[in-house]
Structure 1
Amino acid sequence: MARLLGVSRSGYYAWTKRGPSARAIRSQRIEAKVAWFHGDSDEVSGAPRILADLREDGEIISRKTVAKMMRRLGLRGVCPKRWKTTTISDSNDTYPPDAVQRQWDTGTLNAVWVGDISYLRTWEGWLYLATVIDAHSRRVIGWAIADHMRTDLVEDALKMAIVLRGELPGKVVFHADRGTQYASDQITRFAATNGITRSMGRTGVCWDCESLNHHQAA
């Protein structure tokens, strides 16, 4: 073996008696930390997050080294999919006028309802949550969740709101963005049948429904 490797016998035996180098010991220690941090994140964290964890733990190391260690250990982070917008417009949709003008709270219940669709990322894929919020109480009075964004999702949330609130006043304004679900013929007919006045903001104004819904979520 010594002849094959081109080393002396004395050099080989000296090598077997030496312990691991300080560099090897440090590498093993950091690899153990990388594996622990990755497991502690439910195997979600990638090199950037684990790099931050290592530096917080006092290690001086580069991102490239962390990435190389992760490849050697067979560890991978989970990257979220690209942002999925829930507002999809259709040029054939008809948009009602803005009957709210950002005057959300009129001082009474069932005067202004606000609708929105949020996306939820789960281990089994994307789910979509449609909500109806009373702008006066900021309470969620109707909701529906499904693995699709069809108009039925919005209608189911409105049905829950109507059932929960019972007898409604003569005029209830339902304000939403210009998503094709809210501008559809299906919702137009449903609103007319149930005495609901539809309202929509301007195109590109993202802080109407989202601001009220995100405030509620917070």
Structure 2
Amino acid sequence: MMYPLVSELADDGIPVVVSCRVLKLARQPYYRWLRNPVTRRELDEAYRANALFDAHRDDPEFGYRLLADEARDEGSEAMSDRTAWRIASANGWWSVFGKKRSKNGKKPGPAVHDDLCVVIDEHGRERHQFTASRPNQLWLTDITEHRTSEGRLYLCAVKDAFSGRIVGYSIDSRMKASLAVRAVRNAVRNAVRMRGPDAR
């Protein structure tokens, strides 16, 4: 937008009519902008960005969909997930758990931890096998969202791959990293209680 430049030139003593003629701008739209330099759309966008930033600062592990949910729950102006994605992308507000985007176009490197569930099939392809030969050898986790009359509720459960039983869980009104940490700690305490203090 060239209107701020016209305003700055006017402050420096250059007549508006001259600036508009050189920049090939009509004067009437410029004067309308001067009376209201911030449009309603720009103001709404700023409020939405502020709400998303507050949610991202409180929960940096959230992606844009959960940031939009948090902003809506806080009473901010409603916005679609697409709008939240556009604002978050423009400002670089990514989940701390998201994949890092390579700057040189190359694929990301290998995972920083071992994949204990990967097996090589008869065709030489990698696939995952979620089985165990004894209790507490392999645990699987998942988080589910439940809508209640008082708001959202998140449940993180830890399942033993050998027995198929839930060995630990945690519940919270917000889906944060601590939700999964508490569930795993609960499973570890239960395993120790079942097998004694020497359980690993």
* TM-score range normalised by the length of the shorter chain: 0.3 to 0.5
- The normalised TM-score by structure 1 is 0.40
- The normalised TM-score by structure 2 is 0.43
Structure of greater relative contact order (alpha carbons < 8 Å, 6+ residues apart): 1
